[in-house]
Amino acid sequence: MADNGPVGIALERDEALVLFEFLQRVLEDENGEGLREAIEDDAELWALNAVMAVLERSLAEPFAPGFEKLLKAAKKAVRERSGAWPWDAGEG
């Protein structure tokens, strides 16, 4: 490994809100259980936890009154911009 320094990731604010809420729910509320089948190594959970911690330090909205309304709007914006997830991509 050449460099073990920090890596920057750029997200739209609505994407960051959606990702934070997802990681918070799956990692803290469910203790990672919802990811059990997808995770191959505990390091993956720790890496996701690090992403959640960065988002937690960067976002004020999750701790503000009315976050649920902001989250709903953020999810809608991401869906409208990106479309439906291609669940069946690669099948056939």
Q: Do 72 and 21 meet the contact criterion of CB atoms below 8 Å apart?
A: no
> What amino acid is encoded at 35 in this protein?
L
User: pTM for the complete prediction?
Assistant: 0.86
Query: What is the pLDDT at residue 27?
Result: 94
Name the residue with tokens 């203790």. Answer: 31
Secondary structure of residue 50 in the 3-state scheme? helix
Query: What is the pLDDT at residue 86?
Result: 86
Q: Could you list the mean pLDDT of each consecutive 10-residue stretch along the chain, which spans 92 residues?
A: 84 97 93 90 95 96 95 96 81 54
Name the residue with tokens 């959640």. Answer: 52
Q: Do 77 and 14 meet the contact criterion of CB atoms below 8 Å apart?
A: yes
